[in-house]
Structure 1
Amino acid sequence: MTVASPLPDSPAEDLRHRSPRYSGEDTTPTSKREIWGWYAYGIAAEVFAVCGVGSFLPLTLEQLARERGSFKSSHLPCVGPGSPSEAAGNGTAPAMLRRDGTEDQCVVGLLGLEINTASFAMYTFSLAVLVQALTLISFSALADYENNRKTLLLAFGFVGSVTSMLFIFIAPPVFALGALLVVVGVTCLGSSFVVLNSFLPVLVANDPSIETATQDSELHPMSPDGEYSHSRDSFSENTESGHGTATSSGPTSPELQLSTRISSKGVGLGYCAAVLVQILSILLLLTLSKTSISKASGTLPLRFVLLLVGIWWFSFTMVTKRWLRNRPGPPLHTSTAGGQGKRWRVWLRLVGFAWKSLWKTVKVAVKLREVLVFLVAWFLLSDAMATVSGTAILFARTELKMSTTLVGLLSITATLSGMTGAFLWPVVSRRFGLKSNHTIMVCIALFELIPLYGMLAYIPLFKKWGVIGLQQPWEIFPLAIVHGIVSGGLSSYCRSFFGLLIPPGSEAAFYALYAATDKGSSVIGPAVVGMLIDVTGQVRSGFFFIAILIVLPIPLIWMVNAEKGRHEALTMAERMEKGHETEGAQMEEAEGLLSRR
């Protein structure tokens, strides 16, 4: 009887497995097919993040509200028969503020309030990220256990893609339902990325190159600057600082190198997919503009684009389902507690466990100084990134009066630049000997140029010229390039740098905290900008708030010590493991005493 040979797509099966950290852990060496399965979900969901959340969803929400709105002072409809733009023969022109200098705002009634149509989009995204934060807290910590990691990833992916496709049925009379779909879609997007990020440390830990590097290379121990000099096992707690001095030109840890490389490539491939779909979207918009569909409703072409985005997301999630391994975590005994209890009780027990798990993670994170400092910095930085993205799209649409096609081209510019940044920053970092936190600080400094340039329009000289300070549509394209390059670097470097600070075995829980910090902060920025728009009637006023928000994380990022953070994480993982063993022994002893009675 012959034994079947390993599948050709899984050559890593023949390699030696590392020792498991818990019963049932899948320590199969990471294969190329599995990594591509991980990439596939980024290719799937990044399209919705860029083309949907970053481009067409804000436009769709604003357009839906505008087609139901009226000018605040004149009470004339903003779009359609009787509107000023219709009277001027330009019924499809964007109109939040009128061109006649009166700056009459276009508002829509919702829940008894009159809301600026641009603010409606900002408030919707604030609500979406709030719900997203609560959702990922409730479910994402469960990904560390059993087969939940992959199950949650696929569930969020499929539900999110369907919500994008459902936009085809949202017409202006039910514009509020569009906001509901945005909340669901954004929630699924962010939650799925949390689970996807939790796969990264696991893939790196099982990668054959890590074991080879630790066995064959002669590196020196890490210095306080986060550099390596002698071989160490990726799960060893024996990292000792002070055994020699590493320079900034020395090699970084094998784990961080591989994590950064995979993360950067994943972001880059996601951006490539987003560019492709964005081009297809523009072609679709141009084609539909020549038909009667665009005349029936200004939002219908946009809704067809969202249908395309949803189909793409669904299709590549199927690839992830096929290629990505489960990588189960330790058994979750809580899930089976209660015997044959009702399903809703089990669900509530699981959610309660997730919140308890997050609280435990918070208590652990508070004890890890480097993690705590980084999370505060990430809170501010992620808020700034989310606020700039949403504000830029609405600014281009409402104040620069750019068409949907031009906004799509703007998004392509930013996305191509983001793809370039994802691949460029590792090269720049190696060329100039920059550590991860230094690279992040350079990105933030460049990011600050965006709001500062927009504020130049408040200088009387530039305002008189009518150019410089984002007064002309062409000026926003160079800033889109800066935004894309910076975002590409921050997305990959922040994710991989945080992974270095996580105690091994708690990846999903800490990435849930990472995303909760991200999304929790992203509620604030868009809401503040929305209020500024309501007060001033100008999207530009939000630049003042954004400019302050961007610079705040720089000193905090500078304070993070990579070596100290890694050493703290390994020590904490050992302490947590001993604590679990002690807790288990106490439970067994208690059960033994009870059984004797």
Structure 2
Amino acid sequence: MDTGTVRAQAADEAAGLRREQRGWYFYDWACSVYSTSVLTVFLGPYLTSVAESAADADGYVHPLGLPVRAGSFFAYSVSLSVIVAVVLMPLVGAAADRGGRKKPLLGAAAYTGAAATTGMFFLDGDRYLLGGVLLVVANAAQSVASMLYNSYLPQIAPPEDRDAVSSRGWAFGYAAGSLVLVADLVLYSAHGSFGLSETAAVRICLASAGLWWGAFTLVPLRRLRDRHARGERAAGAASPGLRQLAATVRDMRRHPLTLAFLLAYLIYNDGIQTVITQASVYGSEELGLGQSTLITAVLLVQVLAVAGALAMGRLARTYGAKRTILGSLVAWTATLAAGYFLPANAPVFFFVLACGIGLVLGGSQALSRSLFSHLVPPGKEAEYFSAYELSDRGMSWLGPLLFGLTYQITGSYRSAIISLVAFFVIGFALLARVPVRRAVAAAGNPVPEKI
């Protein structure tokens, strides 16, 4: 084969990868609207109000005959969805790697979640049980789909480009979340002008997130390619799911440095997720801020997370992903310390805090994803990314537990918010001890110049 032919083939391969990368970005664009508009803003308060309308005189609802406080129903539904996702992700990941056909599974998970979210349009009156079922299905499906989506990263980007590609994906997601959240807020705030009740406006906002999710998922499904399973992976295709799950766990023990990174990620990402979910509680209960202020702060976080993800992706090219993540953990610690001293009834200072969160949020998550992609043994991407998602979803109760216990003991949300510094300090210490270059080589991957 002459040199010209080899160059032409290399150019075609590079063009194909760029096409896949552009399609890959669009899944972040598609599904992030669910996380922002549904989980972060609208569903919690709305489902709680539906459950309260169905409650008995003592304030309880009775799903499957079990007495549950109406105000706890949303939290319990989220917890159940985590359990379902924890069971499904390793099994689906193993099946995807064995068969080499991740794309059909990604489509099935994404459209299951999108359909459940769209079905939230019918959540009204006292249909709290319908809302709980739809939330469990949508949240579990979103976790499974994200695991499959993330597992494409090592296949569509060479090692030296993964930080930038991952960061662009997060930026696409935050941009979509911001765009749709603005439209939702216009509809919600001016619902009377559109001839809608407040309830109808919320239901439209919920359902539109599902329609958005389903429509834009078409782009990655058209552009991503399935890779055939390697011989050793295909040979195990007949293994039952649970047996394969046990084999995956045993295999991960052969890569202790990869597990060391996962432990560090589990700790500091739990801190990140807890800040995201509890910041509004801190703002409303401790700082006395109104709902409009809190929603505006969420929008600020979304907008600035786009710039933050792209900027940290560039920093990683110069300093490496590990150092950049470590720097972001220092920034998270400083942000929480500043939050502890925020004065009450001062929205401007809360907006400054939101800006700080936004600037480090997207980048720390994007670079963690790309760094982990270097630590995955070739041919086991979906299985290992199921463990990555499990370390996120499956342990996401630790931070809220610490937050709640601290408040229960001290009676102060300021003490509760500063307690989360522990996650970033411990995560920093654990990540700093991981020799990432040696970990990449041990996983059987080429070591990038900067990592």
Band the TM-score falls in, shorter-chain normalisation = 0.7 to 0.9
Corresponding position of 1:132: 85
Q: CA deviation at 1:109?
A: 4.6
Deviation at 1:149, TM superposition (A): 0.5
Identity value in percent: 26
- What are the within-5 Å matches in structure 2 for residues 50-449 of structure 1? 50-65=36-51, 109=61, 113=67, 115=69, 117=71, 119-205=72-158, 255=159, 257-290=160-193, 293-294=196-197, 298-330=198-230, 332-333=234-235, 352-353=240-241, 355-396=242-283, 405-430=292-317, 433-449=318-334
Aligned partners of 2:163 and 2:321 also within 8 Å: no
Q: SS of 1:522's equivalent?
A: coil
TM-score by length of 1: 0.66
- Which structure would you say has the larger Rg? 1
Query: Residue 168 of structure 2 contacts residue 309 of structure 2 at CA under 8 Å; is this kept in 1?
Result: yes
Question: Do residues 452 (structure 1) and 326 (structure 2) align?
Answer: no
- Please, which moves more after superposition, 445-454 or 39-48? 445-454
SS at 1:30's partner residue? helix
| Rounded Cα–Cα distance in structure 2 between residues aligned with 1:157 and 1:54 | 19
Query: What letter is aligned with 2:111?
Result: F
Residues 365, 150 of structure 1: alpha-carbon distance in 2 compared, 3 angstrom cutoff: same
Alpha-carbon distance in structure 2 between the residues aligned to 1:440 and 1:55: 28
* CA distance in structure 2 between the aligned counterparts of 1:62 and 1:402, rounded to whole angstroms: 21
1:484 matched to 2:369? The reply is no
Q: Secondary structure at the match of 2:108?
A: helix
Query: Kindly tell me: are residues 392 and 124 of structure 1, through their superposed partners in 2, closer, same or farther at Cα, counting changes over 3 Å?
Result: farther
User: Cα 1:35–1:486, aligned 2, differ >3 Å: closer, same or farther?
Assistant: same
- The CA deviation at 1:516 is 1.3
Q: Which letter does structure 1 place at the counterpart of 2:189?
A: L
The one-letter amino acid of 2:166's match is S
Note the C-alpha offset of 1:167. Answer: 1.1
Q: Confirm or deny: 8 A CA contact 1:49 1:189 kept in the other structure.
A: no
Whole-angstrom CA distance in 2 between matches of 1:358 and 1:124: 26
Matched, 1:550 2:435: no
TM-superposed CA distance for 1:281, in Å, is 1.0
- Identify the structure with the greater helix proportion: 2
Change (3 A) 1:69 1:404: farther
**Deviation digits for residues 343-396 of structure 1 (CA, Å, limit 9, x no counterpart):** xxxxxx6xx33x333333322322323212111111112222222211123444
Q: Is the 8 A contact 2:17 2:157 kept in 1?
A: no
What amino acid does structure 2 have at the position aligned with 1:52? V
Q: Distance in 1 between matches of 2:137 and 2:384?
A: 23
CA distance in 1, matches of 2:150, 2:335: 28
Residues 14/435 of structure 1: CA separation in 2 closer, same or farther (3 Å cut): closer
Q: Describe how 1:544-583 pairs up with structure 2 within 5 A.
A: 544-570=418-444
Distance 1:290 1:29, change over 3 A: closer
- Partner of residue 20 from structure 2, selected from 15, 31, 34: 34
CA contact (8 A) 1:267 1:488 kept: yes
Contact 1:62 1:120 in 2 (8 A): yes
Letter in 2 for 1:277: V
Deviations 1:415-459 (CA, angstroms, capped at 9, x unpaired): 1111111111133345xx533212111111222244434444xxx
The 3 A distance-change label for structure 1 pair 150 and 538 is farther
Using a 3 Å threshold, how does the CA distance of structure 1 residues 28 and 447 change in structure 2: closer, same or farther? closer
Q: Distance in 2 between matches of 1:67 and 1:395?
A: 27
Return the alpha-carbon distance in structure 2 between the equivalents of residues 381 and 321 of structure 1: 32
Shift of 1:170: 1.2
Output the CA distance in 2 between the equivalents of 1:293 and 1:439.
47
**Contact 2:54-2:127 at 8 Å conserved across structures:** no
Aligned to 2:377: 503
Distance 1:480 1:68, change over 3 A: farther
Listed one character per residue, the Cα deviations across residues 489-536 of structure 1 (whole Å, up to 9, x for unaligned) are: 111110111111111221111111111111111133335546777888
Give 5+ residue unaligned stretches, structure 2.
1-5, 447-451
CA distance in 2, matches of 1:177, 1:530: 28
- 1:9 maps to what in 2? none
Aligned CA-pair RMSD:
3.2
Which is further off, 478-487 or 533-542?
533-542
Contact 2:121 2:206 in 1 (8 A): yes
SS in 2 for 1:552: helix
Q: TM-score, normalised by structure 2?
A: 0.86
The Cα shift of 1:323 comes to 2.0
Contact 2:287–2:343 under 8 Å retained in 1: no
C-alpha contact 1:59 1:397 (8 A) present in aligned 2: no
Aligned pairs, number: 437
Counterpart secondary structure, 2:319: coil
- What is the identity, as a one-letter code, of the residue corresponding to 1:446? A
- Paired letter, 1:309: A
The residue aligned with 2:393 is: 519
Which amino acid in the other structure matches residue 268 of structure 1? A
Determine which of 37, 40, 49 is the counterpart of 2:35: 49
Q: Partners in 2 of 1:403 and 1:288 — Cα distance?
A: 19
